[in-house]
């Protein structure tokens, strides 16, 4: 490709948010919203679990985010983190949930909790409320071998996305070192 053949399109930069978008985001955040994820088991090291939740606060302009991780392996202690996130973060979490279409799924044919542990996902989004419980999923092989591979795949990838988001928030919020 010659340099003369490359066409660059230059656009006027647009602001990420304008006043209308901000007002719409605040209005959308006033709907009830709550999400909780839990994954845990009872083993030789006691009750080991990972849990996080997001709950919109009364004003609708922010949410509390809570995280807990208990691993008694090598006498590790319970890790608890709590932070406040903006309505923009809540809107992004809602977008992830809606895009996944998890609210259309049913856990009736998913693997039942067992000695290896369980996972729970509870979502309240506006007037919709749904709660899932299934066995721990080790890999995509567990998903494809289930009775409802499509539904469990939606759950699996949503949980992966949410966990990545939570771990990123924690890393940004609690591990920033001052200059």
For residue 10, the model assigns a pLDDT of 40
d(CA 41, CA 44): 10
d(CA 57, CA 30): 9
For residue 4, the model assigns a pLDDT of 42
Q: Which of 99, 97, 100, 43 is nearest to 70 (CA)?
A: 43
Describe the crossing of helices 149-174 and 87-100 by its angle, rounded to 10 degrees. 160
Q: Which residue has the tokens 């290896």?
A: 116
The gap from C-alpha 135 to its chain's centroid, in whole angstroms, comes to 18
For residue 3, the model assigns a pLDDT of 42
Local structure of residue 109 (DSSP, 8 states): T
Domain 28-174, CATH among 3.30.1560.10, 3.30.1320.10, 3.30.450.20, 1.20.1530.20: 3.30.1560.10
- Contact at 8 Å (CB) between 111 and 135? yes
For residue 176, the model assigns a pLDDT of 58
For residue 125, the model assigns a pLDDT of 94
- Contact at 8 Å (CB) between 60 and 26? yes
Average pLDDT across each block of 10 residues of the chain; the chain has 179 residues. List them in order. 41 46 50 94 86 91 93 81 94 96 96 94 96 94 94 96 95 74
Tokens of 15: 């602001």
pTM of the model: 0.79
For residue 159, the model assigns a pLDDT of 97
Query: From the CB of residue 47, how many other CB atoms can be counted at a distance below 10 Å?
Result: 11
């Amino acid at each position: 490709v010659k340099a003369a053949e490359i066409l660059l399109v230059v656009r006027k930069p647009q602001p990420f948010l304008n006043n209308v978008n901000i007002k719409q985001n605040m209005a959308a955040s006033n709907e009830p919203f709550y999400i909780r994820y839990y994954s845990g088991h009872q083993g030789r090291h006691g009750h080991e679990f990972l849990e996080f939740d997001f709950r919109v606060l009364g004003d609708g302009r922010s949410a509390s985010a809570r995280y807990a991780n208990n691993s008694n392996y090598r006498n590790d202690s319970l890790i608890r983190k709590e932070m406040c996130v903006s309505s923009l973060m809540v809107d992004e979490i809602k977008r992830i949930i809606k895009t996944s279409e998890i609210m259309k799924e049913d856990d009736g044919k998913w693997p039942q909790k067992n000695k290896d542990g369980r996972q729970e996902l509870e979502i309240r989004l506006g007037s919709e409320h749904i709660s899932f419980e299934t066995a721990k999923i080790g890999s995509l092989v567990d998903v494809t071998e289930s009775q409802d591979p499509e539904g469990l795949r939606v759950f699996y990838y949503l949980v992966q996305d949410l966990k990545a988001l939570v771990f990123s928030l924690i890393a940004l919020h609690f591990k920033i070192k001052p200059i």
